[in-house]
Structure 1
Amino acid sequence: MKNLKYFLGFTCLVLWMGCNTSAALQKGDTAYGRLEYQKAIDYYEKGLKSDQNPQAMVQLADSYRLTDQYDKAVYWYGQAVEQPQVDPQVKYYYATMLLATGNTEEAATWAEAYTIARPDDSKGQALLESIQNQELLTKSKLSYDIYGVAFNSENSDYAPMFWNGELIFVTDREGKTDPWTGRSYHALYSTQNGMLDAKALPGNLGGAYHNGAASISADGKTMYFTRSQARKEKGRDDVVRLSIYQAHLENGQWIEGAPFPYNSSEFSNLHPSISPDGKLLIFASDRDGLGGRDLFVCRDQGGRWGPPENLGAPVNSSGNECYPFLANDGNLYFASDGLPGLGGYDLFVSSYENGFWTSPRNLGGEINSNKDDIALITADGLNSGYFASNRASGNGTDDIFQFSRKKGSINLNGIVVDEFTSIPLPNVAVTAINQLTGMKQTFTTSNDGRFSFSLDADAKYIVSGILHEINTTRETVLTFEVPEDEPLFVKLTHNDPRFSLNGKALNRTTQLPVEGAKVKLYNVTKDEEHVAYSDAEGNFSFQLTQQSDFQISGEKDGYFTSIQEATTKGLDRSTTLFVKLYLTIEEIIIGKEITLDGGTIGNVNFENILYDFDKSNIRKDAAVELDKLVKILQSNPTIVIELGSHTDSRGEDDYNMKLSQARAESAVKYIISKGISAGRITAKGYGESRLANHCQDGVRCSEEDHQMNRRTEIKILKF
């Protein structure tokens, strides 16, 4: 979640070096400088295959980190830190990503390396303390039930806020696409009583880009919210400024009002929170402070806001503080990545005593995780409330969670099995939805297909699962009058009518595996395409639907694209579960001549192209072979070839030269008529100038020997 929602309200100034030389890396630099991280990822991944540029490695790792792809960020930071003269900041981010993915031991190693390189930066020491205090922080004095709310989507949902019995929150589930994330711009939505339905906030808040985290006054009529400004591109810097705006409720519609008087083009203000009595406004800003972003407070001065004051230590750290919430219990709740925690952003609470904010208390492992946990709100002193997190149990990139102190509960155990084979199924996402409250819990089945939930007593639940976009059976579970020491048990079955296709990409010449081949599965019947990449052993796999025909193609730079076919028509799922496919991929050699008489390209076998005596027209049997060549050219759109025609030595030299040229041109015209560009194929007649054997003029040879010289060859000129 260190993506847009943290930049909605602070400056993101990217200073990048543009030192990369390949075209792909240069395009990656441009996209990175514009904060278009999804595009940058595509270009860097391509460019780094041939150019191991250290700066590109760092910026690819940054791009993965800023789009919540932590495992890939770990890999590329790991590559970058091994490069000479690496910036110590890379070691810090490597440690944070290792911690976020659960590798605490290695995270400690790199956090310590950062503190050695930057001993004056307190955030390194704070990160070390977070790692060392993992066990202590996971022990909480309070016990909570935590549920993903029913209105979460597959997109980002975060920053909840109470409003007249409803919840306002931020989401990117709909709208115009932001090139930074490849997802929709963020907007404010509302939902009633935690139900499934959510709708855009009524009114017109304006803004061409993002509207972010909001806070509403106690009377429900005034709202302060975050908005992104237009990007300014000057040279190779890209600046995003965020500001706070005011809105008023008029006839059920939110109408945009005046901007916050302390907005500036030099820094950002974000994440406003107004106190219940309306006298304080706390917000985050990257103006001069103790760290990246600090919390500031403005005080009401007769109907206008006084100047911002930094809350100072111990609330602010050398890291980032964000998402403040001034609760009606007088406490300040906020998120920080600079104070000791479990990793990423943790949630903290501080109280105002004797004119000062107390040292923040980490809310512990019952609420916090080793991922990012932010934007907590509560109306009853942490007995219940909401927060947002990108922890692995959520529905989408970021989700909103509801928490409540535990009361009487019933344990539910269960298992998911295949309907036909009764084999337990791992990795099934099982949900239990409380039909009275709408609260939803999610659990992923273990390797033995099992799952478990702690359910509220005296409630009704619907339990179901999903795997490969196919639902399991649904079970209704009643927890009325069930003894707490007697766990319930349910069995869910899953009927997946698809087949598994396993394949192996091989080098045709060496028969060794080809790693990183791009394999495309095209469902001819349904007009659908899926993509996978072969692993170090050349293996790849797909799921196939019933009663369908498929084309499977494999491609990699420097190799011919190879095509195979498969079908599930007529196959019985109960007896045939797997189809094995071995792709053959042939290395391309520029200038190599391939004879179309038993020769092969990829896994396509060719027969000779035959002509009638003293003729150059294309016969039906020759058209079959030329059609094979057309398919190869269609599958490999960058290949340029020469089609060469040869004769035997019988006849006059000039005549044989003209005849072979006419035959080659006839074949080329046929291929062009099938849609191949004329610029990709050249006709060349060689006559008898390049005999394949000893059968020169005056030498007696058999008809078979002469036939060897009457041949058509392909020469690859460019790939």
Structure 2
Amino acid sequence: MKHIITIIILLFVLISNAQENKLKKANQKYNDLSYIDAAKVYLQVAESGYKSEELFKKIGNTYYFKADYKDAEKWYGELYKLNSKTLETEYLLRYSQSLKAVGKEKKAESVYDQFLNTSGILNKEFSSSSDYLEIIEENSNRYNITPLPINSSNADYGAFIHENTIYFASTRNLKKRRSVDVWSNEPFLDIYSVNYNEEENTYSEPVAIKGDVNKRFHESSPAITKDGKTLYFTRTNSTPRIKTNKKDKIQLKIYRATKVGDEWTNIEDLSINGDNYSNVHPALSPDENTLYFASNMPSSIGQTDIFSVSINKDGSFGKPKNLGSKVNTKGRESFPFVTNNYELYFSSDGHFGLGGYDVFYIDLKATGKQLLNVGMPVNGPADDFAFSINNLTKKGFFSSNRTEVDNIYGFTETKSIKELLEAVVTGVVTDKVTGQPIAHATLTINSDDNTIKYDIITREDGSFSTTVNKFKAHTITVKNKGYDTTDTFIAKGEDAYKVDIQLVKNVFEIGPDAMSDLAKMLNTSQIYFDLNKSSIKKEAEIELEKIIAAMKQHPNLKIDVRSHTDSRANDSYNINLSNQRAKATINYLIARGINKDRLTGKGYGESQLLNGCKNGKKCTEAQHQENRRSEFIVLKN
């Protein structure tokens, strides 16, 4: 005797372990009957020569989300051939990425351009000055600034604080016997120090640091190690290694001094220096194993670039490395400063700003580095430079010539610059059919330039929340066992996104529900019939092929074909017509290789209408069509 397949749920309390083991073995025996994998079914149908958007989307997604881009490109290509003009944007994006992954760059660019033109979700590129100014304005008003009382009527800049002492460069001629720079008509720079009481916010009188550092020409940009024993600074080249002519431009070098008593001495010309280029403005990494500096050495991109160089344990140096185009431009980049969190602040006139030198920020440890203008009031129309900050106290210094002479300003940061990078993404993942939330689904967040990638998991109620870099577009890929993987694209530029995602099942358990319809499991359109006809329609063949593929994958699967009519004509006529439809459906399956012993069928006439279109009620043809159908109920002996 045959009955509808069910996973037997014991109604008795199983006391012994032996009984539990027997149950497990029984369930294992019917594993091939318990689950239907829709993806495998679709692939088999497509490989049989059938074509449809639904098939190619399903198969392309299967390979795409497994990172099998070769096969994904093949099946998305078939999809594109069927419908290139009105294809959904997510498939244009996936196809272009698959093309790029297999080396078909030209075609990938063409399809990606189509995606850009049709998506409507990509924000504009920031290509005009008004766009940049809008971003800078959003970044502004995060600092309270005040000029320091140590400023003079001459140039003062480049404050560096070590413990309770502020070091800075100044052209003030306190001894009145300093040489004068013929270009600026001001005294040359020296390095000064000031004792600072942070609690009382008081400063001592500035004094030139002692020892051999301050000499005849320029000295500036002090950087001191944490132990207070080593000083890096900029000086006019006083130790040329090659013979120069009077017409040659005098270069600058970075020197190193050590502290003996209260004096700086043992001045050392570093190996990274040269006589035909300048190295300036040293800054140390938090671990003091790397020196950052500005230079116009031959490997520079622009007029001056930011470089880094490793400091070996014996004090020697490695080979300088250019920080690259994320930082450096054709213009001037200078005055680097690195925080304890490896964030680089520097000044540039090559990146778009408010005028002259502007201060910029970039996170050195981030995989996807994002450059930010720190905004007003630090930046303005004048030159703003030599920025430094303590991430713990949120206090720091910068220099500016906004009053027509270089002055040092103190500031307090009121809002972290990292907050400017972040956009909040929230949403819920649900089952598309039932609407039920899906807990513990995996969401992979990937930036459009593939520099940022990480996973999050949905909560028990299917919800999720995360933050993304607001200046990058992102793809959110959602995976969960038993469901098709899917993704969604979010544009850049917003402060918050609400992204609700629906998943479609692809593995179906033939469980305790006594009405397991194989067609519904496979997301198959119903097998419909024309009025008063029992012949298989052409458009129904591809849906029947899915049923056939599933039965071939599961040789023990048996089907009861249940066919129906609409309410028109009398009951006996409709019973006869529905029996003919069941027979025609079964004959099609047998002709395609399904053993007749695996098939039963029966017509139910108009007794199981899906809607209210019964005798005497006026309905549309489309409503009547819903009832002229075949169903495929799974059976087990």
* Higher RCO (CA-CA < 8 Å; seq separation 6+): 2
* Greater radius of gyration (CA): 2
Instruction: Please indicate, yes or no, whether the TM-score normalized by the shorter chain is above 0.5.
Output: no
TM-score per shorter chain, which class?
0.3 to 0.5
Higher strand share: 1
Q: Give the TM-score normalised by structure 2.
A: 0.41
